[in-house]
Amino acid sequence: MTDAILTVEELTIRFGAVTALDGVSLSVAPGERVALLGHNGAGKSTLFKTVLGFLQPAGGRLSIVDAAPGSNVARRAVSYLPEQVVFPKALTGAEVLTHFARLKGVAPKAALPLLEVVGIADAAGRAVGTYSKGMRQRLCLAQALIGTPRLLLLDEPTSGLDPISRREFYTVLEASARAGTAVLLSSHSLSEIENRIDRIAILAKGQLRAEGSLADLSRGAGLPIRIHVEAAEGRVEAVHAHLGGERVNGRSVVLTCRAEDKVGALTSLAALGSDVTDIDIALPDLDDVYRHYSVPIVEGAAQ
């Protein structure tokens, strides 16, 4: 893909004997939101630092808007939210934002409204030392949004945010993506990013284990869907005879099927008419999907 903002090909990063990234390929297009998932030490932060030009690849290539990482062109295109950052306690939120706006060549006047966007405008004049964890995280996000960057690199941006703040965060992110910003963010939870991300890449032990939409990943994992069928009074044998599956607690039948067989199962259910009083479909738990891709290899490594 040549129109991608970020292209990573066969990237390998080593720290002495540790291979933090092992032949990772990934690309992010304008307006696309990609989530990077992986266990602790999977290599997520390492990938961000390499994209910023802080680490030298032992192999592979990467380019940001067709420029080398760390080059002037790349630095102007990229905005970063680090995993851990503590702003000077004595500065106010507005001063921090003004500082970074000037570093990025953006007029402070144009940047300050971002405090409103992330919901800490009330605290703009207060010292950062008095901010709560979530407020500091919001300030960090405001900093990253300065100057409508072409590529947003967000390393665990929602850590420390409460569920409502997380939703607000993804709303802000959606607006950025709609304006054409390419977003690469890391996270530890699949369920959190459901419906809020276009594509997911799962890293484990420095290797890219899976990549695609959430639906692709669920299908690829081949985890079963469970359909809970409640039969009408005295009709449970008939239902069981027709559908197969497993009988539970007198009135119910539980079917397990693969994602691609779901429609077929529902069609045969419909044929039962009034014998069925209720249906409940449980899709595979998202954290199960995540575990499917990332856990086996981690356990294997631990042995």
Partner 1 sequence: MNSMDRMAAVAATEFRLAFRNRWVLLSTLAFTLFALALAFLGSGPSGALKADALTLTAASLSTLTVYLVPLMALLVSYDSIAGEIERGTLALVLATPLKRGELVVAKFLGHLAVLAMAIAIGYGIAGAVIAGVHGADDAGLVAWGRLLVTAVLLGAVFIALGMALSSLPRQAGTAAALAIGAWLILVVLYDLALLGAVIVDQGGMFTKTVFPALVLANPGDAFRLYNLALIEANAPIAGLDGLARTLPFPVSSAFVVLVLWLFAGLAVAWALTRRIRP
Ligand X SMILES: Nc1ncnc2c1ncn2[C@@H]1O[C@H](COP(=O)(O)OP(=O)(O)OP(=O)(O)O)[C@@H](O)[C@H]1O
| 82: contact with ligand X by CB under 6 A | no
| Least Å from the CB of residue 84 to partner 1 | 5
| Least Å from the CB of residue 83 to Mg ion | 5
- Binding stretches for partner 1 (CB under 8 A): 49, 52, 54-55, 72, 75-76, 78-80, 82-88, 90-91, 95, 98-100, 102-105, 143, 153
Which residue stretch of 66-74, 77-85, 250-258, 295-303 sits at the interface with Mg ion (rule: CB under 5 A)?
77-85
Which amino acid, residue 190?
A: L
| 15: contact with ligand X by CB under 6 A | yes
CB 161 within 8 A of CB 119: no
- Return the one option of Mg ion, partner 1, ligand X, none that residue 102 interacts with (CB less than 5 to 8 A, by type): partner 1
CA 104 → CA 53, 170, 183, 216, distances in Å?
17, 24, 18, 38
Please give the structure tokens belonging to residue 199. 């594509």
The nearer residue to ligand X, 20 or 112, going by C-beta atoms, is 20
| 205: contact with ligand X by CB under 6 A | no
| Least Å from the CB of residue 176 to ligand X | 22
- Return the one option of partner 1, Mg ion, ligand X, none that residue 38 interacts with (CB less than 5 to 8 A, by type): ligand X
| 294: contact with ligand X by CB under 6 A | no
The nearer residue to ligand X, 98 or 294, going by C-beta atoms, is 294
Residues sharing a CB contact under 8 Å with residue 6, sequence separation 6 or more, in sequence order = 26, 27, 28, 51, 62, 63, 64, 151, 182, 184
| 38: contact with ligand X by CB under 6 A | yes
Q: What are phi and psi of 149, to 5 degrees?
A: -65, 160
- Return the one option of partner 1, Mg ion, ligand X, none that residue 282 interacts with (CB less than 5 to 8 A, by type): none
Which residue stretch of 43-51, 146-154, 208-216, 236-244 sits at the interface with ligand X (rule: CB under 6 A)?
43-51
| 202: contact with ligand X by CB under 6 A | no
| 45: contact with Mg ion by CB under 5 A | yes
- Return the one option of Mg ion, partner 1, ligand X, none that residue 30 interacts with (CB less than 5 to 8 A, by type): none
Binding-site ranges for ligand X (CB under 6 A): 15, 18, 20, 38, 40-46, 83
Binding-site ranges for Mg ion (CB under 5 A): 44-45, 83
